[in-house]
A and B are shown apart, each in its own frame.
Chain A
Amino acid sequence: AQKITQTQPGMFVQEKEAVTLDCTYDTSDPSYGLFWYKQPSSGEMIFLIYQGSYDQQNATEGRYSLNFQKARKSANLVISASQLGDSAMYFCAMREGYPGRRALTFGSGTRLQVQP
């Protein structure tokens, strides 16, 4: 079964607007972490934001925020005031707490294109 699901293969957004990238996850582990990474066309994986399963507040990092809804098992990334440089692939990932399962499991990604 898919542990991380990203249902939006591609998204378009106008420059300066906000955009939400969806991510749902599946785990029975009470302790887990959720991550978002950006992969521009150059290929590197850039860490954006992290949310722990016990964190009470939604994580924020500059223009990035994570809308964490634990009961719905969703961890959507919100990018505010989109910029042309935000055009990239975005991956949601999860790390579970069980020993031996602490590697990241990735979703299939969402390609975001920011239009001027």
Chain B
Amino acid sequence: DSGVTQTPKHLITATGQRVTLRCSPRSGDLSVYWYQQSLDQGLQFLIQYYNGEERAKGNILERFSAQQFPDLHSELNLSSLELGDSALYFCASSGSDTYTEAFFGQGTRLTVV
């Protein structure tokens, strides 16, 4: 058990809909990263939050947004969903912005139909 909790584990939704993925980092970890794993794009970094503030952006679409709350949990919001958004979405946490390890949650498998 990595200590990173993601909910839900599975999500099936229709095109055009909006969903929210939730991540609780390991106790004490300030940094949260979101990644997308799809068959055609592999594992890609989406966005990072550190202690409530956005720290870095990767290949995140404008339809996607995220935030980190005062209790350090994070949410990734995906809107106007398309079939191509079907993927495994991971959250990872680490202790600081330069901490070595990054531990991943179990992922949320999103299927858009």
CB-based contact A108/B42 at 8 Å:
yes
Query: How many Å lie between the Cα of A96 and that of B105 in the bound state?
Result: 22
Which B67-113 residues sit within 8 Å CB-CB of chain A?
Answer: 88, 90, 92, 97-98, 100-107, 109
CB-based contact A104/B102 at 8 Å:
yes
Residue on B nearest A98 in the bound complex, by CB: B56
Query: How many Å lie between the Cα of A103 and that of B31 in the bound state?
Result: 10
Q: Does B24 contact A (CB under 8 A)?
A: no
Q: Which residues of A contact B33 (CB under 8 A)?
A: 103-104
Interface residues on chain A, size class:
20 to 34
Count residues of B near A (Cβ-Cβ below 8 Å): 25
Take A104-B45, A106-B43 as given contacts and tell me if A43 and B102 are in contact as well, using a CB distance cutoff of 8 Å. Answer: no
Query: How many Å lie between the Cα of A33 and that of B98 in the bound state?
Result: 10
Return B68 CB to nearest CB of chain A, in Å.
Answer: 15
CB-based contact A103/B97 at 8 Å:
no
Return B3 CB to nearest CB of chain A, in Å.
Answer: 11
Interface membership of chain B positions 47-62, coded 1 if the CB is closer than 8 angstroms to chain A and 0 otherwise = 0100000011010000
Return B22 CB to nearest CB of chain A, in Å.
Answer: 17
Task: Point out the residue from A44, A93, A97, A100 that lies within 8 Å of B106, measured CB to CB.
Answer: A44
CB-based contact A102/B98 at 8 Å:
yes
Mark A residues whose CB is within 8 Å of B: 33, 35, 37, 43-47, 50, 52, 91, 93, 95, 97, 99-106, 108-109
Query: Could you list some 6 contacts between A and B, CB below 8 A?
Result: A37-B104, A50-B100, A93-B43, A102-B98, A104-B33, A105-B45
